[in-house]
Amino acid sequence: MRIGLITSAPDHPLLAAAGALLTARGHRIEALDPADPPADGTGPLADVYLLKARTPAALALARSLEERGAPVVNPAAATELVQDRTAMADLARRSGLPFAPTRTADRPAALLAQAGTGDLALPLVVKSRHSRRHDLVARVDDLDRLRTLAKRWPGEPVIAQPYLPSTGWDQKLWVVAGRLFCTRRRSELADAGHTGPPHGPDGFTPGDLPAERAELALRVGEVFGLDVYGVDLLDGPDEPVVVDVNAFPGIRGQAGAPEALAALALRAAAARPPALPGPRTGTPADAGPGAAAR
């Protein structure tokens, strides 16, 4: 089979490891750089494409491949949806997921005005509405901090979520076609007093994850139509709260993740419906009356 990688970095550890597994089994890996797509867009399709990049160019390329009948993991529409944190929060809460309450503003100055009149409680977390590399993610404890953000990001559409007390760590959950991986990572919003992991230096595996959190992670994929994705939960013993969902994360250092991705690629390729036959070619007489009977 031919497996296409939509990415500018085909040497990413997860992709490279999965690609090596597939190549060893006789499959062919082809990288498509979304910044330099095929000129005419009419070449032969791969059996499946893995959408690792999330830039506008990558999404446009994935959509064009889907329109031609190619399976894409994750679908372009699902990938694009979770990049809009407002749309993501709205769908999550309508679907009954325990997602952090989310307010949208066209710029940080609008949040400043709401906080100044008491319509918005502090502390809170301010994020860029549209998820991307080097976007805005900041904890705001007072109006001075909000004023600073308003100056540095004057025209940035943002969301605001209440800052919820935690251990200072996040539970990073990843799912590949229903297989769960996880770890703890220090939150970038943690207090200076938060140091080591709350339960000691030992690893954090799916076996350490409460069943309701594992079930929640799998439910996220159903809601958003994702096969490869990440879910960020606040760490701690309280009821789980989802603070972010992202499509096709790196999943670095997780034993079994490349194998799960390789198997998913083959299943998605095998499930592709057969191509419809194209129009017959030949002399004009071939298309004349009674041609189908000859």
Number of domains in the chain: 3
Q: What is the CATH number of the domain that holds 43?
A: 3.40.50.20
Per-residue pLDDT averaged across 243-251, rounded?
94
Question: What is the domain-level CATH number for residue 190?
Answer: 3.30.470.20
Residues 126 and 221 in one domain: no
Q: What is the pTM of this model?
A: 0.86
Q: Confirm whether 85 is domain-assigned.
A: yes
The reply to whether 185 and 261 lie within a common domain is: no
Q: Supply the DSSP string of 135-188, one letter for each residue.
A: --EEEE-SHHHHHHHHHHSTT--EEEEEPPP--SEEEEEEEETTEEEEEEEE-T
| 119-165 residue pLDDT tens | 999 999 999 999 998 999 999 999 999 999 999 999 999 999 999 87
Is 206 among the domain residues? yes
Q: Please indicate, yes or no, whether residues 177 and 239 belong to a single structural domain of this protein.
A: yes
Greatest mean pLDDT among 9-23, 34-48, 160-174 lies in 9-23
The answer to whether residues 142 and 262 belong to one domain is no
Question: End of a domain among 247, 266, 285?
Answer: 247
Percentage of the chain exceeding pLDDT 90: 70
Query: Is position 291 within any domain?
Result: no
Q: Do 145 and 21 belong to one domain?
A: no
Average pLDDT, the chain: 87
Split at pLDDT 50, 70, 90, the class of 193 is: low
Can you tell me the distance from the alpha carbon of 90 to that of 84, in angstroms, rounded to the nearest whole number? 10
Q: Which helix (H) or strand (E) holds 267?
A: helix 257-270
Residue 212 structural domain: 76-100+166-247
Tokens coding 293: 């009977």
Residues 122 and 226 both lie in one domain:
no
Is 94 in the same domain as 109?
Answer: no
Query: Same domain for 191 and 226?
Result: yes
Query: Domain for residue 294, yes or no?
Result: no
